[in-house]
Amino acid sequence: NPTLQLTGITKAYNHGKPNEVNVLQGVDLTVEKGEIVALVAPSGAGKSTLLHIAGLLDTPDSGTVTINGDDMTGKSDSRRTAMRRDGVGFIYQFHHLLPEFTALENIVLPQLANGIAQKEAEARALELLGNVGVAERADHRPAALSGGEQQRVAFCRALANRPTLLLADEPTGNLDPGTSDRVFGALMDLVRGTGLAAVIATHNLELAARMDRTVHLTAGKLTHGE
């Protein structure tokens, strides 16, 4: 089974009102295990809406979202939440780390919430931090880290519970170009090292070119590049 399969996804806001906006108008997307897909879209095209639907944070008006062969259409909120907690990792443009906790704790906490023992969670967090080159910053709070370091910690947190699907919305969009390039490289290494499927939204065509293929979202539809 593909990790993610979207078929015929439609989504409108403000149904029946003068300001109705048909954001998604029949989106199909299949992402196989180990595949990294760049999602390129002009601002306002519906990129966040699409990522939220794929990550079960929002429901489409029609169409199906299937994750690891499990059709989530019409499933209860608790089933969807369980799949999201267990199977999906999110990365946002801004890291949203918890400011009162250290880098390590930010990666440990979601594991504890998932029933992992403290020691095992800490070992996993340290390993992940090591993979992105910030292990020596494990005991610092976010405010003591650079923007690039904070975002690397956020990558680790997204992968803490070993999701099968990673969804990222402009994951390096808030960093200066040089930092963005290096931090993005760390993300690519991390994702390739785990073999999970990823959809990574970016405006940056050079970053998009480093992924396996690119899809463009325009006028409510996806067009597939190489």
The number of beta carbons lying within 10 Å of the beta carbon of residue 100 is 10
Among 27, 36, 40, 49, which residue sits at the site for ligand ADP (rule: CB under 6 A)? 49
CB 89 within 8 A of CB 98: no
> What CA–CA distance (Å, rounded) separates 103 from 204?
28
Q: Is 48 in the site for ligand ADP (CB under 6 A)?
A: yes
Stretch of 42-50, 118-126, 182-190, 205-213 lying at the interface with ligand ADP (CB under 6 A): 42-50
48/111 with CB nearer ligand ADP: 48
Stretch of 89-97, 144-152, 207-215, 218-226 lying at the interface with ligand ADP (CB under 6 A): 89-97
Closest separation in Å from C-beta 5 to ligand ADP: 20
Strand order of the β-sheet with 4-13 is 21-31, 4-13, 62-67, 70-71
Q: Is 180 in the site for ligand ADP (CB under 6 A)?
A: no
Q: Is 45 in the site for ligand ADP (CB under 6 A)?
A: yes
Q: Is 74 in the site for ligand ADP (CB under 6 A)?
A: no
97/132 with CB nearer ligand ADP: 97
> What CA–CA distance (Å, rounded) separates 89 from 65?
16
CB 155 within 8 A of CB 191: no
Cα Rg of the chain, angstroms? 17
Q: Is 33 in the site for ligand ADP (CB under 6 A)?
A: no
CB 70 within 8 A of CB 79: no
> What CA–CA distance (Å, rounded) separates 60 from 11?
5
Positions touching ligand ADP (CB under 6 A) are 13-14, 21, 23, 41, 43-49, 57, 84, 90, 92, 96
